[in-house]
Amino acid sequence: MSFIIPVRYGLMAVAEGFLSESDAFRVGDEVVVKTGRGIDLGEVAAKPRPLAENEEPAGELLRIVNEADQRIASHIRESREPEEFHTCQQCIRERQLPMRLVGVEHLFSGDKIIFYFLAENRVDFRELVKELARRYRTRIEMRQIGVRDEARLLADYEHCGRELCCRTFIRNLEPVTMRMAKTQKTTLDPSKISGHCGRLMCCLRFEDEVYAQLQSEMPQRGAMCVTENFSGEVVAFDMFKREIVLALPDGGEETVHISQIKEIHGRKGRPLSGAYPAREATQARTSGRFPGRHSARNPGRPSARRDGQAREEGQEGEDGQGRQPEAMNGENGPAPDRADGSKDVGTGDEATV
């Protein structure tokens, strides 16, 4: 019977399933695997499972690491890779290439050496690859990575105390947005929700779907909810307790469970007018404190920007002629569009010899 053994291997800690005829492997065992790029060392990441029908394994699990394998791996890690890293850095400086070397990976079989680097744009490293291939007499691969991949290579633990998710189980780094942090009501301080890579932490994406589902089942603020005994406007809600805080017409508040709601009217941003005369009267009084604001509460008052523009157009100088607006960039014409030339750098740029 054939089994699939999940193994994490390589400097990027890629986790894939490898074929084996035995299931005598435990989580944490160091093994030798045959991958698409050559023979490499890895670590068993999960319990073995039977091979499913039509399942394609990533390679073959050869054996558990023995003492000879450990000596070879130790020599590569302590001697070969540091020397290769220093040599590649020196070659980059000599050629003045706009790139920063991040890491080097020497395969266990010695069939290939992979150099990981950061760069703002694409780099012509053909001469560099030729020089490295001439020195080491093996295949050379230059792989351009992004800042999130750099954290996966160099960082160990996040400020939560756990090992980085991208190093342990995340295979594909999908985008994380600020909207996810706002939906989860977490702090918006970048220093607290950013990881080692400087981007938003990947864990914000884990529960985003659950938060979005729970929030979609709750009535929006400003909606009118009707129960068996009373009705009120939604002013707050707790999506986890499934409770809603209703503002009653008499000025009081009542907390009810979502199961007690019979009907929901209105929508967010447009509460039903006329239901709360006392509150609407208060809003009408306070809206007059901001004379420069033009909104639905003050439909007859022009905005401060429009009023200032009218005064500027009517102002005249000492010579009796009106003031001419100054151009933003040059004598005529608007300022040119901003173009900083920056762009995100993806992974996958490589060259082999």
Which range has the top average pLDDT, 98-102, 222-226, 254-258?
98-102
Bigger pLDDT: 275 or 172? 172
| 84-101 residues labelled b (16+ CB within 10 A) or e (exposed) | bbeebeebbeeeebebeb
Output the pLDDT for position 324: 42
- Assign 148 a pLDDT band (cuts: 50, 70, 90): confident
Q: Kindly state the average pLDDT of the residues 223-243.
A: 86
Domain 218-287: give its CATH architecture: Roll (2.30)
User: From CA 108, how far away is CA 74, in angstroms rounded?
Assistant: 10
Distance of CA 254 to the CA centre of its chain: 39
Q: Kindly state the average pLDDT of the residues 31-59.
A: 89
Q: How does DSSP assign 158-223, residue by residue?
A: -TTSSBPHHHHT--S-----HHHHHHTT----HHHHB-TTSSBPGGGGTTHHHHHHHHHTSPPTT-
Per-residue pLDDT for 341 more than 90?
Answer: no
Output the pLDDT for position 174: 81
Distance of CA 123 to the CA centre of its chain: 26
Q: Kindly state the average pLDDT of the residues 336-348.
A: 42
- Assign 104 a pLDDT band (cuts: 50, 70, 90): very high
Q: Kindly state the average pLDDT of the residues 147-160.
A: 74
- Assign 206 a pLDDT band (cuts: 50, 70, 90): confident
- Residue 72 DSSP symbol: H
Output the pLDDT for position 234: 87
Amino acid at 68: A
Least confident of 95-99, 119-123, 135-139, 322-326: 322-326
Structure tokens at 217: 């089942």
- Assign 267 a pLDDT band (cuts: 50, 70, 90): low
- Assign 120 a pLDDT band (cuts: 50, 70, 90): confident
Ordered by start, the domain boundaries in the chain are 3-65, 71-145, 150-213, 218-287
- Assign 81 a pLDDT band (cuts: 50, 70, 90): very high
Least confident of 33-37, 259-263, 283-287: 283-287
Per-residue pLDDT for 274 more than 80?
Answer: no
Per-residue pLDDT for 296 more than 60?
Answer: no
Output the pLDDT for position 149: 76
- Assign 219 a pLDDT band (cuts: 50, 70, 90): confident
Output the pLDDT for position 131: 93
Contact 7, 40 (CB under 8 A): no
Per-residue pLDDT for 153 more than 80?
Answer: no
Domain 71-145: give its CATH architecture: 2-Layer Sandwich (3.30)
- Assign 22 a pLDDT band (cuts: 50, 70, 90): confident
CA of 121: how far to CAs of 6, 88, 118, 151, in Å? Answer: 35, 19, 9, 19
Return all residues near 94 (Cβ < 8 A) that are at least 6 apart: none
User: What's this model's pTM, rounded to 2 decimal places?
Assistant: 0.56
Output the pLDDT for position 332: 41
Return all residues near 167 (Cβ < 8 A) that are at least 6 apart: 13, 152, 155, 156
Output the pLDDT for position 61: 92
Bigger pLDDT: 290 or 21? 21
Output the pLDDT for position 261: 85
